[in-house]
Structure 1
């Protein structure tokens, strides 16, 4: 119940601070940390929340760590309990700004740079990456791909499985945002 209240307050605060907003509660985050010759290490979360303020270019994303689904239940359990410690660190967030964003300039595919703070496993790191934005009628499609290193976020990979997990985790984010 406490976690739900914190999430509601978080999104209430974000909603208050934004102007004209587009949002989704069904955004998709995928990650892959596979190494050839071993079982694929990948998961998907289709319950990610994202909000884009088109008047300022501010963007906020929140994904619950326990929302990631693996093809193997044991892998999912190890991910939550041993690596991400999702009871202690239940969410991953990004708060940033899409540089040079203007709602009037998008229509067909447009590429921007987004900069901000990525928080995973309780550790925050500044990131900058390319983001693609397309406006289709009343919907804004947002997508990006970037990589992170588990060590940058104090995520420890036990030596017994270290060879089976890549030192660089590829992340793909896709959001279909509608006007709020």
Structure 2
């Protein structure tokens, strides 16, 4: 009887703990660094992982840099080889916390919270603070976030030949359809 109760308690506790973590492996990051009157400098990565703990508000995001796709293949090659140096710095990550996250607010209506953490890109880690929005959609929690970074802050050098064609500040958009972890 004790084994059955122990097993039952373990199953209930693991279900409760299990349901507090949401994740995706098919999140999306877009970035835009275009300048007016020049060719578009934008890319998208649809293979981004995100893990979000609704009980603590902790969030972690991981993107493989070579996963970014550009409209122009040559631009993608230059991005990986000359700017972001993806062989040397293959991953970009964010680890932070959603401040005062309330799962009941996120489950009932669109809700926005502050998020703060460390963004690591090109081997450099910097603090980032922005807003993050959650919308419940069926069994998923749709998460969106926008922020801006400066390539120079991450030791990403833009050659003078193309410096006027690339924005000094890059706009980053994230979207994750988070689900219970399997």
TM-score, normalization by structure 1: 0.89
Q: Does the aligned pair in 1 maintain the 2:139–2:179 contact within 8 Å?
A: yes
Runs of 4+ in 1 over 6 A off after TM superposition: none
Q: Does the aligned pair in 2 maintain the 1:45–1:68 contact within 8 Å?
A: yes
Query: Which ranges of structure 2 fall in alignment gaps of 5 or more residues?
Result: 1-17
Residues 83-122 of structure 1 aligned to structure 2 (within 5 Å)? 83-106=83-106, 107-122=108-123
Using a 3 Å threshold, how does the CA distance of structure 1 residues 23 and 76 change in structure 2: closer, same or farther? Answer: same
Residues 164-179 of structure 1 aligned to structure 2 (within 5 Å)? 164-179=165-180
Residues 88-167 of structure 1 aligned to structure 2 (within 5 Å)? 88-106=88-106, 107-167=108-168
Rg: which structure is higher?
2
Shift of 1:137: 2.6
Q: Counterpart of 2:50?
A: 50
The CA distance in 2 between the partners of 1:135 and 1:72, in whole Å, is 35
Q: Does the aligned pair in 2 maintain the 1:19–1:55 contact within 8 Å?
A: no
**What secondary structure does 2:104 align onto?**
helix
Per-residue deviation, residues 134-174 of structure 1 (Å, max 9, x unmatched): 12231111001111000000000000000000000000000
Q: Counterpart of 2:77?
A: 77
Shift of 1:99: 0.3
Q: Counterpart of 1:13?
A: none
**What secondary structure does 2:101 align onto?**
coil
Per-residue deviation, residues 81-139 of structure 1 (Å, max 9, x unmatched): 00000000001000000000021221211010000000000000001001101122311
Shift of 1:35: 0.3
Query: Which ranges of structure 1 fall in alignment gaps of 5 or more residues?
Result: 1-17
Using a 3 Å threshold, how does the CA distance of structure 1 residues 19 and 119 change in structure 2: closer, same or farther? Answer: farther
